[in-house]
Amino acid sequence: MAQNVADRDRHRIVGSCIIYDQGGRFLALKRRPDLKVYPGLWTVPAGGMDRDDYALLPQTSPDGWENPLEIAMRREIKEESGIEVGSLEALGHFTFIRPDNIPVFGMRFAAPYLSGKVTIDPEDSTEFAWVSVEDVGKYDFLGRIADEIRDFSEKLKQR
């Protein structure tokens, strides 16, 4: 087993979550304009997995923890928006290299809004909106998030 991992093989692990309400609207958060990475763009709750997300909990298997990214995603959703969500549905995964040259591996989820009042974290965001799929194009979303909201909206209609 390799004891040292080359920097080019290390990735930041993140999750993002498309949160929807019973009216078919989607939660959007506007990133602060002074952030180093993707300032001022609209996004969905997202963030990185930290060791403490699982290592401080009892192990769920003999040699580790199950679903640590889901644990991290629920923490990030609560921190960034103040709400609770239902079951997380995995939608896919992605990679990119951040503007600060850090490679990222991420999982995208969707989850129904469950409870709580949206309260944004002022360290990350300046405002929030519940956006209909018809209005997604009016927001300057990060990356492919607008398309992913549209795609997921179609999945919801087919259910």
Q: What is the pLDDT of residue 112?
A: 98
Q: Using one digit for the tens of pLDDT, what is the confidence trace for 55-106?
A: 898 999 999 999 999 999 999 999 999 999 999 999 999 998 887 888 999 9
Domain membership of residue 20 (yes or no) is: yes
Domain membership of residue 129 (yes or no) is: yes
Q: Element (H or E) spanning 78, and its range?
A: helix 68-81
Instruction: Judge whether 28 and 20 are in contact, CB under 8 Å.
Output: no
Q: Chain-centre distance of CA 44, in angstroms?
A: 6
Domain membership of residue 2 (yes or no) is: no
CATH number of the structural domain spanning residue 111: 3.90.79.10
| Amino acid symbol at 29 | L
**With 90 as the cut, is the pLDDT of residue 53 above it?**
no
Q: Using one digit for the tens of pLDDT, what is the confidence trace for 140-150?
A: 999 899 999 99
Domain membership of residue 29 (yes or no) is: yes
CB burial of 55-79 (b: ≥16 within 10 Å; e: otherwise) equals eeeeeeeeeeeeebbbbbbbbbbbe
Domain membership of residue 3 (yes or no) is: no
Domain membership of residue 16 (yes or no) is: yes
Instruction: Give the structural domain span for 105.
Output: 11-158
Dihedral sign, Cα of residue 130, residue 136, residue 140, residue 144: positive
